[in-house]
A and B are shown apart, each in its own frame.
Chain A
Amino acid sequence: MTRKSTYLFIAIVAGLVALSLFFKKDQEPTFAESVEEAAAVVESSDPQSEDEIVLATKPLNKTQVTEIPSHGDNTAAQARRLHLPQEKAVANKVTPTSRQLAQSSMLSGTSWKVWEGMTAYPKSAGPRADAVAEVSGFYLVPQEGLRPDERNYSNAQPMIVYNERKNIAGVVTGSVQITLREGAEIDPVLETFDLKVVGQLPEIRTYFVTSAQQPYDLFSLKDRLGSEPGISDVRLEILSRQYEKF
């Protein structure tokens, strides 16, 4: 009797466990259910931290009310968790005064102006205590009285430019980006203009060149390259992007 009861009990338990497993597996939520569950998580979550806020949207048929203890309005129909982001490094911490900005014939037709009294050093050369900003792997460093001369240009002392509309600084590296026409070769260009290649993307027939001599006339170089029949496009390299890891 006891043994039979035990067998019966074991069988009942096994049956219930098996059935519950079956139903549990079978109850994987549909996508909509998953979303509802997510909403429920929002509803039931602990009071949100000071830096977590909720986006209000137009009310839905199925209204969800999210408590926002610190921010008052509780009419959110759907929530989007928001966190105030961590502080990012500010790429351009300083802005020039209008007196520091000068027009340049080389930059005519662009939004760039020359930022006098400022130059750049590559970060790879080591840290600079006098750096006031960073742009594209360069430190911007004030240099009293510096008035860059595009006609007597040295790559070791890059010209800094500034876009007033976008409030961004740029570094004129002294490289000129040229794109060759189909069939044109780079070597004759280098020879003709006494240039050296500092970078290349042969897949798109694009080369980054600079004068083999220092200092040199950057304005003239860009101008003359633009007249070369084998070249379809000429651009002055101005580094202004600050790429971040997301």
Chain B
Amino acid sequence: MKSFKRKAKIYLPLLMVGAVIGLLFTNCSKQGFDAAVAEIQKGDDPFLGYAWHINNTGQSVFATSGSGVVGFDLNMLKAWTSGLSGSGLKIVVSDDGIQDAHEDLKDNFLYGVSINYHLSTPTGANNAPPNSVDDNHGTAVAGLIAAVGGNGVGTKGIAYKSKLIAYNLLSSNVAQLDERIGQQVTGGYDIYNMSWGSSQNNLPVPVAVWGTSLVAGVTNGRAGKGSIYVKSAGNDFIVKCHNSTTTYCVGNANFDPDNNMPYTLMTGALNSMGEVASYSSPGANLWVSSFGGEFGDDYPAMITTDRSGCSAGYAQTLNSGKVEFERGSDGNSKCNYTTTFNGTSAAAPVLAGAIALILEANPNLTWRDVKYILAKTAVQVSPNMSNVTRHPFYNYPGDASKNVRLPTGAIWENAWVTNAAGFKFHNWFGFGRVNVDAAVALARNYSSPYTAGPSVIGFLMNSSPSPNAIPDYDAAGISSTLSVGTSLRIEAVQVQINISHNNIADLGIELISPSGTKSMIVNMRNSLTGIAGFDNDIFLSNAFFHERSNGTWTLKVYDGASNDITGTLNSWGVKIIGTP
């Protein structure tokens, strides 16, 4: 008894001190974290807890196969607790319309400046709401950017006080005229979100006004600081092969010529488990990776706004999916929200919202500054991933006759590279995962590396490469070089390719900078099945960001299929955008 009392006298104070210290550590040394959690809980957005991209606590949402990885998210809570909300920023959602009357969007919709192609005078429209049963996408995209925060309903967008504008190019039955393609990037607003593109099993014909309109936008938008254009990389990691209805191939974001200019921020998608999303298109033209989730029933997708009511939108009473929430259960009685929205379509608005916070932190940033900040602060995903030496269809599902065997020694996709300027790059992730708090911190104490406007070299061409014969099924392939004399600090590199070959799906194309940085422009055994030749097609690589341009550039062309088809590298060249 006495012993117990004596021990109690010793241990009780120690335990009390331990308790106090523990609580202090819990509540004080993690003060920022807890304040952030409080910020998330503040204002009663009842579904905000499902937003793993904002605060990944390992929640499974309604997925049954797996949940997320704690902390694998935007890392953005400090930005919110510091007061950033996207206030004052105007964001265009180029999509299939926005249900502006939605309970969680209406207070953030900016009336009178939309473009509604269902009207005889599209520009200056009051709004551009969904026009058919298929127009569900834009409302979901809009919620990820700017669902109203603290209003007692639904969820909360990244930039929950920013203003939304709708351009409805993708609405059903809208003719996709060239004028309208160019129009998607006009208006001079702060940020444009484009969760769309072309199927990446083809080489579509470029739309000339797209490029010139983008140049005008980054030159004149935001009072000369440049509008920010965010675009989805695509969901075509696995896509039907060109002109096939039965066989799958691997696509590439660079196959869409809209994506080969440095004026857009191409984003790939990550899931909640710390990985590249299953569908996210690869490409040397990616800038960063944002969050797009998986499919919601297997692994978490994204919580966002959905067209109101249980007979419209993704969540409907008659929804046949596995997630009850999508049928009006689990608090979603009006079916105004969805937890199964996913894709690089989701990753783009998440990035757009993040950029709004960055611009709010420092409104003086130019479009190039924003790109730089995102690249500089991005975090590597799967940093130990090495070269991919087997094709994704090494074992084609269900049909061994379609198994893909690359030549011995071939590299299908490069590992992370660290370029000569210290930037890390991977075709699946760009510069990596968006890191909002770090980006905001850099934005607040920013000294721009850009003191002059961008200069351009090129296209500098090698019009008679030697050797030029592309051997069949050869991991070594052929190499060709060209010399660049001018030294620019690179912001982007375009490569133009002219190859004669009866099936360019066989071919891999790799560009190597004077500093030795490798960038796989086209993966061999790709989705361009049966297309004959590259006809001066242009691709973009961001892998050389901030390297110097002068020196010898090398192009390698590999043939990854054993089919006796050989080809010829007729010419190639590089165009370099950068600053002296």
Chain A contacts to B: CB under 8 angstroms: 1, 4, 7-8, 11-12, 14-15, 17-19, 21-22, 25-26, 28-29, 31-32, 34-35, 37-38, 41-42, 45-46, 49-53, 55-58, 60-62, 68, 70-73, 77-85, 88, 90-91, 111, 122-124, 136-138, 163, 165-168, 170, 173, 175, 177, 179, 198-201, 203-204, 206, 208, 233, 235, 237-246
Contacts and interface: CB of A to CB of B under 8 A. Distances in A.
A58 B389 contact: yes
Contact of B205 (A15, A57, A238): A238
Interface of B: 1, 8, 11-12, 15-16, 18-23, 25-26, 30, 33, 65-67, 69-72, 95-96, 137, 169-170, 172-183, 186, 195-199, 202-205, 207-209, 212-213, 215-217, 220, 232, 234-240, 242-243, 245, 248, 271, 273-279, 294-295, 298-299, 343-345, 348, 379-390, 392, 394-395, 397-398, 428, 530-533, 535
Most chain B CB neighbours (cut-off 10 Å) among A11, A21, A179, A203? A203
A31 B397 contact: no
Given A34-B71, A57-B386, A204 B176 contact: no
B398 A240 contact: no
A233 B385 CA distance: 47
Contacts of A170: 205
Given A84-B248, A166-B531, A21 B177 contact: no
A25 B1 CA distance: 38
A95 to B, nearest CB: 8
B5 to A, nearest CB: 8
Given A53-B397, A168-B205, A246 B69 contact: no
A203 B395 contact: no
Contact of B16 (A15, A41, A88): A15
B205 A241 contact: yes
Which 10 residue pairs of A and B lie closest in terms of their CB atoms, listed nearest first? A18-B22, A199-B179, A137-B175, A38-B274, A81-B278, A15-B15, A56-B390, A15-B19, A246-B232, A246-B345
A128 to B, nearest CB: 12
Contact of A136 (B33, B96, B175, B199): B175
Nearest to A51: B397
A32 B95 contact: no
Nearest to B394: A56
B208 A177 contact: yes
Contacts of B379: 31
What secondary structure prevails in chain B residues at the interface with A?
loop
Nearest to A82: B278
A15 B14 CA distance: 9
B71 A203 contact: no
B159 to A, nearest CB: 20
A244 B196 contact: yes
21 contacts: A7-B12, A14-B15, A18-B22, A19-B18, A22-B26, A28-B70, A28-B71, A57-B387, A57-B388, A60-B385, A78-B384, A85-B238, A85-B239, A91-B199, A136-B176, A179-B212, A201-B186, A233-B208, A241-B176, A242-B176, A246-B343
B238 A88 contact: no
A81 to B, nearest CB: 4
Given A25-B33, A163-B205, A240-B204, A83 B196 contact: no
B344 to A, nearest CB: 5
Contacts of A77: 386
Given A22-B26, A165-B535, A57 B385 contact: yes
Given A18-B23, A203-B186, A244-B198, A167 B242 contact: yes
Contacts of A35: 69, 274-275, 381-384
Nearest to A78: B385
A137 B179 CA distance: 14
A71 B66 contact: no
Contacts of A124: 173-175
A28 B243 CA distance: 48
Contact of A50 (B11, B202, B299, B397): B397
B71 A243 contact: no
A71 B397 CA distance: 6
Nearest to B380: A31
Contacts of B381: 35
A235 to B, nearest CB: 6
A201 B178 CA distance: 10
A14 B70 contact: no
A168 B388 contact: no
A175 B278 CA distance: 41
A239 B216 contact: no
A206 B531 contact: no
A239 B177 contact: yes
Contacts of A62: 384
A175 to B, nearest CB: 7
Q: Which of B67, B69, B216 has the most CB of A within 10 A?
A: B69
Contacts of A246: 195-197, 232, 234-235, 343-345, 348
B395 A237 contact: no
B235 A241 contact: no
A51 B396 CA distance: 10
B535 A38 contact: no
A8 B274 contact: no
B110 to A, nearest CB: 20
Contacts of B95: 245
